Amino acid sequence: AAEAEEPALTDGFQLVIDALKLNGISNLYAVPGIPISDLLRMAQAEGMRVISFRHEQNAGNAAAIAGFLTRKPGVAITVSAPGFLNGLTALANATTNCFPMILISGSSEREIVDLQQGDYEEMDQLAIAKPLCKAAFRVLHACDIGIGIARAIRAAVSGRPGGVYLDLPAKLFSQVMDAAEGKRSLVEVIDPAPAQLPAPSAVARALDVLKGAKRPLVILGKGAAYAQADDEIKAFIEKSGLPFLQMSMAKGLLPDTHPQSAGAARSHVLKESDVVLLVGARLNWLLSHGKGKSWGEPGSKKFIQIDIEPKEMDSNVEIVAPVVGDIGSCIAALLAGIDKGWTPPPQDWTAGIAAKRDGNVAKMAPKLMSNAVPMNFHGALGALRRVVQERPDAILVNEGANTLDLARGIIDMHKPRKRLDVGTWGVMGIGMGYAVAAAVETGLPVLAVEGDSAFGFSGMEVETICRYRLPVTIVIFNNNGIYRGTDVNPTGGEDASPMVFVPGARYDKMMEAFGGVGMHVTSPDELYRAVSEAMDSGKPTLINAVIDPAAGTESGNIGSLNPTSAVRKK
Chain positions contacting ligand ADP, by CB under 6 A = 97-98, 160-161, 221-223, 226-227, 247, 249-250, 280-282, 284, 286, 307-309, 312, 326-327, 424
**Cβ-proximal residue to ligand ADP, closest one:** 223
Query: Please, which residue, 161 or 552, has the CB nearer to ligand ADP?
Result: 161
Integer Cα distance of 402 and 557 in angstroms: 7
Tell me the closest approach of the beta carbon of residue 273 to ligand ADP, in angstroms.
16
Question: Which of the choices Mg ion, ligand ADP, none does residue 479 contact, using the CB cut-off of 5 to 8 A by kind?
Answer: Mg ion
Integer Cα distance of 27 and 479 in angstroms: 36
Tell me the closest approach of the beta carbon of residue 399 to Mg ion, in angstroms.
11
Q: Which residues contact 131 (CB under 8 A, 6 or more apart)?
A: none
Pair 446, 472: CB distance under 8 Å: yes
Question: Which of the choices Mg ion, ligand ADP, none does residue 286 contact, using the CB cut-off of 5 to 8 A by kind?
Answer: ligand ADP
Tell me the closest approach of the beta carbon of residue 246 to ligand ADP, in angstroms.
8
Pair 93, 61: CB distance under 8 Å: yes
Phi/psi of residue 63, nearest 5 degrees: -60, -40
Integer Cα distance of 393 and 465 in angstroms: 20
Query: Please, which residue, 183 or 289, has the CB nearer to ligand ADP?
Result: 289
Tell me the closest approach of the beta carbon of residue 411 to Mg ion, in angstroms.
18
Nearest to 464 by CA among 62, 64, 106: 62
Query: Please, which residue, 24 or 194, has the CB nearer to ligand ADP?
Result: 194
Print burial letters for 523-555: b (CB count within 10 Å at least 16), e (below 16). Answer: bbebbbebbbebbeeebbbbbbbbbbbebbeeb
Question: Which of the choices Mg ion, ligand ADP, none does residue 459 contact, using the CB cut-off of 5 to 8 A by kind?
Answer: none
Q: Is 567 helix (H, G, I), strand (E, B) or coil?
A: helix
Question: Which of the choices Mg ion, ligand ADP, none does residue 73 contact, using the CB cut-off of 5 to 8 A by kind?
Answer: none
Pair 222, 186: CB distance under 8 Å: no
Query: Please, which residue, 30 or 193, has the CB nearer to ligand ADP?
Result: 193
Question: Which of the choices Mg ion, ligand ADP, none does residue 221 contact, using the CB cut-off of 5 to 8 A by kind?
Answer: ligand ADP
Nearest to 49 by CA among 73, 32, 25: 25
Query: Please, which residue, 67 or 382, has the CB nearer to ligand ADP?
Result: 67
Query: Please, which residue, 70 or 544, has the CB nearer to ligand ADP?
Result: 70
Tell me the closest approach of the beta carbon of residue 403 to ligand ADP, in angstroms.
19
Query: Please, which residue, 224 or 519, has the CB nearer to ligand ADP?
Result: 224
Q: Which residues contact 399 (CB under 8 A, 6 or more apart)?
A: 421, 422, 428, 429, 430, 431, 450, 451, 454, 455
Residues within the interface to Mg ion (CB under 5 A): 451-452, 479
Tell me the closest approach of the beta carbon of residue 330 to ligand ADP, in angstroms.
7
Tell me the closest approach of the beta carbon of residue 279 to Mg ion, in angstroms.
34
Question: Which of the choices Mg ion, ligand ADP, none does residue 452 contact, using the CB cut-off of 5 to 8 A by kind?
Answer: Mg ion
Query: Please, which residue, 34 or 505, has the CB nearer to Mg ion?
Result: 505
Pairing verdict, β 419-421 and 321-324 = unpaired
Q: Which residues contact 454 (CB under 8 A, 6 or more apart)?
A: 399, 400, 401, 403, 404, 428, 429, 431
Question: Which of the choices ligand ADP, Mg ion, none does residue 535 contact, using the CB cut-off of 5 to 8 A by kind?
Answer: none
